[in-house]
């Protein structure tokens, strides 16, 4: 199981990579492996200000559909357009090319509520 040390994780299996006032968000390697082959990603929240825990995307796999929850509050300012034509990037590279949204954080202190890589690993094992 691939768990990146430089990221923060939510108990709902989303990851956060901070870049200044912004955060890139996707789903963990564990989550994508549980979903299976991802065929579609819908992000109807582009341009919206959301709170931590709000649904920001729906991820459709061959056998199931799952919501993705925002781990930190902020405005969804960008959708990874590559996923529109290649949603399988989440399966191939969940922490790199498979990121889902970029968010302008409104409360960076919420990062302290997220799990470290070690804590996340303990939670899923």
pLDDT one-digit tens code per residue, 90-99:
999 999 999 9
Digit-coded pLDDT (tens) for 102-120? 999 999 999 999 999 999 9
pTM of the model: 0.95
List strands edge to edge, sheet with 8-9: 8-9, 14-19, 22-27, 101-105, 74-79, 49-50
Domain boundaries, the chain: 8-108
Digit-coded pLDDT (tens) for 9-60? 999 999 999 999 999 999 999 999 999 999 999 999 999 999 999 999 999 9
Task: Name which CATH class applies to 8-108.
Answer: mainly beta
The three-class DSSP label of residue 57 is strand
Tokens at 48, concatenated: 């919206």
Burial 93-123 (b: 16+ CB within 10 A, else e): ebbeebbbbbbebeeeebeeebbeeeebeee
């Amino acid at each position: 199981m691939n768990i990146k040390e430089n990221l923060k994780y939510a108990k709902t299996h989303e990851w956060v990579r901070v870049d200044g006032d912004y955060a890139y968000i996707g789903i963990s390697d564990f989550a994508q492996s549980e979903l299976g082959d991802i065929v579609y990603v819908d992000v109807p929240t582009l341009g919206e200000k959301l709170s931590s825990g709000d649904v920001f995307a729906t991820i459709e796999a061959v056998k199931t559909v799952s919501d993705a929850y925002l781990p930190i509050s902020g405005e969804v300012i960008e959708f990874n357009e590559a996923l529109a034509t290649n949603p399988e990037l989440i399966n191939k590279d969940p922490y790199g090319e498979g990121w889902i949204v970029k968010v302008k954080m409104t409360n960076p202190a919420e990062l302290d509520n997220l799990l470290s890589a070690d804590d996340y690993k303990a939670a899923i094992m």
